Amino acid sequence: MKEQSNGEIRIGFYICHCGHNIAAMVDCPEVAKYVEKMPGVALSRDYKYMCSDPGQELIQKDIREFDLNRVVVASCSPLLHEHTFRGATEAGGLNPFFFHMVNIREHDSWVHTDRNEATEKAKALVRAAIERVAFHRALEVKKVPIHPDVLVVGGGIAGIHAAMTLANAGKKVFLVEREPSIGGHMAKFDKTFPTLDCAACILTPRMSEVGAHKNITLWTYSEVTKVDGYVGNFTVTVKRKPRYINEDLCTGCQECIANCVYKEPKFLDEFNEGLGKRKPVYIPFPQATPQVVLIDPEVCLNFKRGVLTDKCKKTCVEACGEKKAITFTQQDEIKEVKVGNIIIATGFQTFDAKRVPQYGYGTYPNVYTALEVERLVNASGPTGGEVILRDGKHPKAIGIIHCVGSRDNRTNRWCSRVCCMYSLKLAHLLKEHTDAEIFNFYIDMRTPGKGYEEFYNKLLEEGVQFIRGRVGEVTDWAMTPEEEGKLVLRVEDTLAGFVRRIPVDMVVLSTGLEPQADAQDVRRLFNMSCGTEGFFLERHPKLAPVNTFTDGIFLAGACQGPRDIPDTVAQAGAAAAEALVLIDRGYIEQEPNTAYVLENECSGCKSCIPLCPYTAITFDEAKEKALINEALCKGCGTCVASCPSGSIAQRLFEDEEVFSEIRGLLAF
Amino acid sequence: MNEVIKPPNSSWRPRVVAFFCNWCTYTAADLAGVSRLKYAPNIRVIRLMCSGRVDPQFILDALARGADGVLIGGCHPGDCHYVEGNYKMLRRFQMLKRMLKDLGIEEERVRLEWISAAEGEKVKRVVNEMVGQVQKLGPLGMPGKFEEWDKEMEHFAAQVEEKDAAAACSCATANKPELTTA
């Protein structure tokens, strides 16, 4: 690596036009001319696209030809291209940390409207960088090995696919699922659009594969409670909730269920969206993975309000017999694992239809949510696939209301992307099951996707009615004899241009997708960000859609935003591939921005020690000085700012570097 | 767009130096850019890894070198990438505010804001508010004041010297007292 031998600073400055993105608002040649005269600047250029290959080669060539020892590029955000230009600097034969980047796109040209002001601002920002870069020193990148195991959080189709991809590549995977079985929302669906594949037929084989895979450790009914460490070296604490069944001993024979003291199922069945009933000891659904029952302590007679009482006859224990799988004394079990990468696939929740009271969900028994209808038309659902309403009747006319909790300023503003398609699918299935007349009430039909528009056209031919307009209300107040005993949908038909009243027997609310209720907690746990809607934020919407701002943590599926099954699977594969990249490279490079103690100046006051959130600072008793463990330091700089004698410094953010930046910003 | 603050007719334009943390506020400012939100051009951002790195001296130095205001942006409480750097900044900020008051610098000139990576809108709002406030307060003009104070000191030192010279003449035998001037 070349260091300046005689101490002379020779800065090469480049300003990027970024096509018109910067050049339209900042006078780039003018800035380049201005910089030319600054002390230490050996060369100043403006160029159309600095990040392009010729742009990067220009830097390399100039370093050699003009004997540069510092490089400053004014272009986009360093979060986007700092890495690129450090690479170019290194390729030119300099230490990559002799480079500094100025953000004149996101922070200047894109946010201002006056060209003169924007150019002046660009000059100030550039001057700060030129002043700063003179103080830069050669630094070495630290390489940290990557633990090859991966944690996947969430066992829906996204988590399943990501876990399978990694496990098939020979990596060890821990799959943690909150519910008693994996499968997620997809397991509840009857058919999938637009191919009308049976959801269970394509999903359940994947689920059993996960359960049986030698590389996958499956922890259902478990939650991640703590995450420590950083990319390559996470330590994750998982809490396994008690199911009061020993998973290793249970064979899934379900004799205990048959022999429960409750002869009939009595309690609301979560998997069937409360439309069916289950016993206190139950298996969520026939194909549940793992095939292990669980006991609900809230309703089991052997417990009272969740506390063990031992007052039941325990016929289930008798039925279990020799297997002895039932363990009423089971407690929370805490597991700790070390992993190198984490894939977050925590999915979504459906919009609570009660938040739109005018549609009468919860008031009128025959108003259903789409997910309930999925169970209702499912052959293994509570009614065996027969569409029987809550009042025992068969519907003759059905209204499907789109965009409930989507595209609505009062609730959620975003489009949930899947509702149009699943509404069409349910229309088709309901038509098939009941031969009822079906009305779809939509704002816009959004069917972008392979075979989606064709599916819509097919439905039009099937005689399903489509009415363009947002339903005002659902009411049981009849105005005519035909409306007696029916639910009436009042809607402005915006194509016909008048308000209609349409009586139906059953209303289906196509509820939108929204972030999980505890998404904020999960976000904090894994140190991620959320967008304004509350979905987890990707690092870059186009170029890093599965990465988060925290290295080694990736996103898959609807926790990042509403999406359908094909997109979810594609994204899960991408997340798995990103993890594989890190694992197979074997190490990560860490930004050398750690803090260090200037031993001669440290007075040993120890005030920095309690400030470090990573306990990276210890006290060297022999020398009576503070000592920073660089392997633990993450480079926040809190200790640096707090040291009363100024005897801690931070690489890349040295005091003189920041002060020179301030000086540069305010030089005129 | 109408919220963008237009520079006044005089040549003075407020200059606000901002210290943004890399993970939340700097990213939010990038988001404001990507979303093409428009805000006042009087702000110049310095990127630090964490608001916990903001040394009160940075703020004082910025003001001393001619900044009319200083804005510090960090992650929301509980969201700090480094666990609690933002709380530590907050503690320092409370102390610094008292000191600034004693120095006669208006409170509105230094502002601490929590802005998450998703809050591009908030960057725009806070910057516009801040620039508007500073505009109302007028220039802080510390470098000018320093010059004035330096002149006063020189003048004072000259006076002292004159006096001493006179005293030295009147009693040449006495030892000249040691004097340090500013």
Work out whether the CA dihedral A247, A251, A256, A258 comes out positive or negative: positive
Q: A415 exposed, middle or buried (CB, 10 Å; 0-12, 13-18, 19+)?
A: middle
Structure tokens at B74: 């960090």
| Under 8 Å between Cβ of A154 and A184 | yes
B116–A529 C-beta distance less than 8 A: yes
The dihedral over CA atoms of A99, A100, A106, A107, expressed in degrees to the nearest 10, equals: -170
CB–CB of A111 and B37 under 8 A?
A: yes
**Residue A348 carries which DSSP code?**
E
Distance CA A73, CA A29 (A): 14
A124-138 pLDDT, tens digit per residue, is 999 999 999 999 999
Strands A348-350 and A367-369: what pairing? unpaired
The ipTM of this complex is 0.86
With 80 as the cut, is the pLDDT of residue B28 above it? yes
Tell me how far apart the alpha carbons of residues A308 and A205 are, in angstroms, rounded to a whole number.
37
Do B117 and A128 count as a contact with CB atoms less than 8 A apart? no
A625 vs A600: CA distance, rounded Å: 9
Cα(A236)–Cα(A249) distance, rounded to whole angstroms? 26
Q: List pLDDT tens digits, range A220-230.
A: 999 999 998 88
Q: How far apart are CA A598 and CA A645, in angstroms?
A: 10
Cα distance between residue A373 and residue A249, in whole Å: 36
The verdict on a CB contact (< 8 Å) between B65 and A636 is no
CB A29 within 8 A of CB A122: no
Closest Cβ opposite residue B49 in set A110, A527, A637: A637
Does the beta carbon of A106 lie under 8 angstroms from any beta carbon of chain B?
Answer: yes
Residue A551 neighbours by CB under 8 Å, 6+ apart: A230, A231, A588
Kindly state whether B90 is in contact with chain A, defined as any CB-CB distance less than 8 angstroms.
Answer: no
Tell me the three state secondary structure of residue A656: helix
Q: What is the fold of B16-140?
A: Rossmann fold (3.40.50)
Determine contact, residues A387/A372, Cβ cutoff 8 Å.
no
Total CB pairs under 8 A between chain A and B? 144
Task: Supply the pLDDT for residue A1.
Answer: 41
What are the residue ranges in chain A where pLDDT is below 70? 1-6
* B23 contacts in chain A (CB < 8 Å): 529, 549
- What does the pLDDT average to over B44-62? 96
Beta strands in chain B (DSSP E): 16-21, 43-48, 69-74, 110-114
Find the distance separating the first CA and the last CA of chain A, reported in whole Å.
Answer: 36
Q: Mutate which of A20, A82, A111 to disrupt the B interface (most B C-beta within 10 Å)?
A: A111
Average pLDDT of the residues of chain B? 89
Q: How many angstroms separate the CA of residue A24 from the nearest CA in chain B?
A: 14
Task: Print burial letters for A621-640: b (CB count within 10 Å at least 16), e (below 16).
Answer: eeeebbbbeeeebbbbbbbb
- In this complex, do B65 and A105 lie within 8 Å of one another by their Cβ atoms? no
Q: What are phi and psi of A239, to 5 degrees?
A: -100, 125
∠ CA A589-A590-A596, nearest 5°, is 145
Q: Return the structure tokens found at A658.
A: 């920041």
Q: How far apart are CA A403 and CA A513, in angstroms?
A: 10
Predicted confidence at residue A3, as pLDDT, reads: 47
In the sheet with A173-176, reading across from the earlier edge strand, the strands are: A216-219, A173-176, A150-153, A341-344, A553-555
Contact B15, A666 (CB under 8 A): yes
Name the residue among A443, A439, A440, A441 with its Cα closest to residue A413.
A443
CA distance A466 to chain B (A): 36
Q: Residue A652 carries which DSSP code?
A: T
Q: Residue A553 and residue B81: Cα distance in Å, rounded?
A: 14
Q: Say what the pTM is.
A: 0.82
* Among the listed residues A28, A129, A111, the one whose alpha carbon sits nearest the alpha carbon of residue B131: A111
The alpha carbon torsion through A181, A380, A278, A313 (nearest 10 deg) reads -90
Dist CA A70 CA A66 (whole Å): 11
Residue ranges and CATH numbers for the domains of chain A are 11-141 (3.40.50), 142-241+332-347+516-589 (3.50.50.60), 255-323 (no CATH), 349-514 (3.50.50.60), 595-650 (3.30.70.20)
Q: pLDDT at position A2, please?
A: 44
Token pair for residue A453?
């528009």
Position A338 scores a pLDDT of 97
Domain boundaries, chain B: 16-140, 141-182
Task: Tell me, letter by letter, the H, E, C secondary structure of A248-298.
Answer: CCCCCCCHHHHCCCCCCCCEECCCCCCCCEECCEECCCCCCCCCCCEECCC
H/E/C letters for each residue in A574-628? HHHHHHHHHHHHCEEEECCCCEEECCCCCCCCCCCHHHCCCCCEEEECCCCEEEE
Token pair in block for residue A317: 């224990």
